[in-house]
DNA sequence: CGATTTTGACCCGCGC
DNA sequence: GCGCGGGTCAAAATCG
């Protein structure tokens, strides 16, 4: 994986122009490189047809330059295609190698993003939650298979029930959570979804109450989140997600969902190996200092939890520390691990940091910086030495990265005609030029559920 | 008046 | 078995 990513970075550096072209078209066509390339081809062909019409001598020069341009673009496309094919081949090759190693070392496990509810659920739960838990396990992230019918609360399709049976049959049903720490003055941080509060509790050791929310985008959605302020720093909001959306998500929510899915995937992948993530490395990226280290939690949570820490370091207001941590129950199956990122530019980050901006930064970092990719891939490769599902984390992450890059580029080009969609419209937005000055692709949705949650 | 929040009660798992 | 703590339920209160 690392080699692959490094290779990708080299090729990315070598053809930045090509990237920008493909990204724009790719965004329109649904992220398929093949589709985008054929689209370019169609456009080029169309241009050629237009240019072939009778023209004056002055037009002939234009025609000639246009033809040259077309040739250049064709060459670019060809190169992109070759790069894409070679990368694809290498990726498949590495996947096969990885699975071969796994087969020798470990028994095959359920390859799924399912995070699993406890098979020993109570009878009451069984009765009450036929619509929410029947999926056979709470899972994190987007599930495109579910249509957005109004009868979402009905029983899931046969395939999903089969999946549930498979998951239940596996005794190693796991339950994982993705926790996001962020500095936020609001009651909850914005994540693009609609939430309804269903409970509040004072937890031990923290005077701040913990609030319980469930997703209300679709009836029967099993996704829940817990929101609680940190006992160490009241300005830090800890949001813990659990479950998988059974409905299409708003555009603004996909970043969070895909990231939590990826994080959960990595978490579960790591949970199947007895080898801890013994990472200790650091890289510099666009003013961000990314580092990884072993996580040392004195009190591990009862469920495997991965933490994305976006808070600034209390030691220095100039530093923001963004880190991935994975907390596991005190069992050998859940080795502790984390990735730790920090940056000396916290002052430019708004308190809305923790919404799409983080994911854009993360994914941008992955797509643009080889050293950061190396760090991520090192983490991934450490995990996937024993479990191929770690590959899905890498794929998810890269997919999210690519997807976000496309959105970024689309927003960037839209910005030439309109600047109203920038996050700068928010009173909490970051000041202008900074490495984190990203566009928001759906500003309207940014006024969604959180405002509702803050209204009282 | 419907949607949402609040809050006490209840359930359940876990440790002793 | 008992107590504790986390999580959920559901009726009442509140909001728009």
pLDDT tens by residue, A399-425: 444 444 434 333 333 333 333 333 333
Q: How far is the CA of A198 from the C1' of B6 (A)?
A: 9
Summarised one tens digit per residue, pLDDT across range A85-131 is 676 666 556 555 544 444 443 333 333 333 333 333 333 333 333 33
| φ, ψ at A178 (rounded to 5°) | -120, 120
Summarised one tens digit per residue, pLDDT across range A334-352 is 333 344 433 333 333 333 3
Calculate the average pLDDT of chain A: 51
Residue A439: is it exposed, middle or buried by C-beta count within 10 angstroms (0-12/13-18/19+)? buried
Q: Is the CB of A200 under 7 A from strand B?
A: yes
Distance CA A268, CA A185 (A): 32
Q: Is the dihedral of CA A6, A11, A16, A21 positive or negative?
A: negative
Number of other residues whose CB lies within 10 A of the CB of residue A3: 12
pLDDT at A201 > cutoff 80: yes
pLDDT at A269: 58
Distance CA A267, CA A326 (A): 7
Percent of chain A clearing pLDDT 90 (strictly above): 2
Strand B bases within 7 angstroms of protein beta carbons: 4-9, 11-14
Closest nucleotide to A330 by C1' from CA: B14
Percent of chain A clearing pLDDT 70 (strictly above): 25
Closest nucleotide to A214 by C1' from CA: C8
pLDDT at A189 > cutoff 70: yes
In the sheet that holds A195-202, the strands lie side by side as A195-202, A209-215, A224-229, A236-242, A177-183, A305-309, A320-327, A337-343, A288-292, A281-285
User: A435 and A320 in contact (C-beta within 8 Å)?
Assistant: no
pLDDT at A330 > cutoff 80: no
Q: Is the CB of A119 under 7 A from strand B?
A: no
What pairing do the DSSP bridges indicate for beta strands A177-183 and A305-309? parallel
pLDDT at A230: 85
Closest nucleotide to A226 by C1' from CA: C7
Closest nucleotide to A242 by C1' from CA: C7
Closest nucleotide to A449 by C1' from CA: B4
Kindly state the tokens that stand for A129: 């939650």
pLDDT at A212 > cutoff 90: yes
Task: Give the 3-state secondary structure of residue A242.
Answer: strand
Q: Is the CB of A121 under 7 A from strand B?
A: yes
- Long-range Cβ pairs for the range A33-38 (8 Å, 24+): A33/A80, A33/A81, A33/A84, A37/A77, A37/A80, A37/A81
pLDDT at A321 > cutoff 50: no
Residue A101: is it exposed, middle or buried by C-beta count within 10 angstroms (0-12/13-18/19+)? middle
| φ, ψ at A328 (rounded to 5°) | -130, 155
Mean pLDDT of A431-442: 29
Give me Rg for the CA atoms of chain A: 23
Q: How far is the CA of A137 from the C1' of B5 (A)?
A: 28
With bands split at pLDDT 50, 70 and 90, how would you rate the model's confidence at A197?
very high
Distance, first Cα to last Cα, chain A: 48
pLDDT at A66 > cutoff 50: yes
pLDDT at A128: 38
Summarised one tens digit per residue, pLDDT across range A362-373 is 555 545 545 445
Q: How far is the CA of A197 from the C1' of C10 (A)?
A: 13
To 10 degrees, what angle do helices A370-384 and A356-368 make? 100
Summarised one tens digit per residue, pLDDT across range A222-281 is 888 999 888 888 888 888 888 878 887 777 777 777 777 767 666 665 543 333 333 333
With bands split at pLDDT 50, 70 and 90, how would you rate the model's confidence at A61?
confident
What kind and span of H or E run contains A96? helix A57-105
pLDDT at A211: 92
Q: How far is the CA of A123 from the C1' of C1 (A)?
A: 22
Kindly state the tokens that stand for A181: 């720490």
């Amino acid at each position: 994986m690392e080699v692959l990513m490094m290779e990708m970075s080299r090729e990315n550096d070598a053809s930045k122009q090509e990237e920008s072209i493909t990204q724009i078209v790719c965004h329109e066509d649904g992220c398929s490189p093949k589709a985008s390339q054929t689209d370019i081809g169609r456009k080029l062909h169309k241009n050629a047809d237009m240019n072939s019409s009778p023209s004056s001598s002055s037009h002939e020069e234009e025609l000639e330059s246009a033809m040259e341009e077309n040739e250049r673009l064709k060459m670019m496309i060809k190169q992109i295609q070759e790069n894409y094919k070679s990368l694809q081949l290498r990726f498949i090759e590495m996947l096969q190698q990885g699975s071969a190693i796994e087969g020798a070392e470990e028994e095959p496990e359920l390859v799924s993003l399912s995070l699993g509810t406890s098979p020993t659920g109570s009878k009451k739960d069984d009765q009450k939650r036929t619509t929410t838990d029947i999926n056979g396990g709470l899972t994190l992230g987007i599930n495109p298979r579910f249509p957005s019918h109004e009868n979402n609360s009905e029983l899931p399709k046969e395939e999903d029930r089969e999946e549930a049976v498979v998951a239940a049959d596996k005794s190693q049903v796991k339950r994982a959570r993705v926790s996001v720490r962020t500095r936020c003055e609001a009651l909850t941080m914005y994540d693009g979804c609609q939430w309804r509060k269903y409970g509040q509790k004072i937890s031990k050791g923290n005077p701040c109450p913990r609030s319980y929310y469930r997703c209300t985008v679709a009836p029967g959605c099993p996704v829940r989140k817990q929101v609680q302020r940190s006992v160490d720093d009241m300005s830090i909001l800890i949001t813990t997600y659990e479950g998988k959306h059974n409905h299409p998500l708003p555009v603004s929510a996909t970043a969070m969902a895909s990231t939590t899915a990826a994080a959960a995937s990595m978490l579960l992948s790591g949970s199947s190996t007895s080898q801890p993530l013994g990472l200790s490395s650091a890289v510099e990226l666009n003013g961000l200092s990314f580092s990884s280290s072993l996580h040392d939690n004195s009190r591990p949570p009862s469920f495997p939890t991965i933490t994305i820490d976006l808070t600034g370091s209390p030691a220095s207001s100039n530093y923001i520390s963004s880190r991935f941590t994975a907390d596991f129950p005190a069992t050998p199956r859940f080795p502790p691990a984390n990735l730790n990122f920090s940056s000396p530019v916290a002052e430019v980050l708004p308190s809305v940091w923790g919404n799409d901006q983080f994911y854009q930064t993360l994914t941008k970092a992955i797509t643009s910086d080889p050293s950061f990719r190396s760090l991520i891939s090192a983490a991934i490769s450490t995990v996937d030495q024993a479990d191929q599902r770690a590959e899905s984390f890498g794929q998810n992450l890269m997919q999210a990265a690519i997807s976000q890059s496309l959105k970024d580029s689309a927003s960037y080009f839209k910005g030439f005609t309109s600047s109203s969609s920038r996050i700068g419209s928010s009173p909490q937005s970051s000041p202008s030029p900074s490495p984190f000055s990203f566009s928001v692709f759906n500003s309207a949705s940014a006024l969604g559920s959180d405002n509702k949650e803050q209204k009282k």
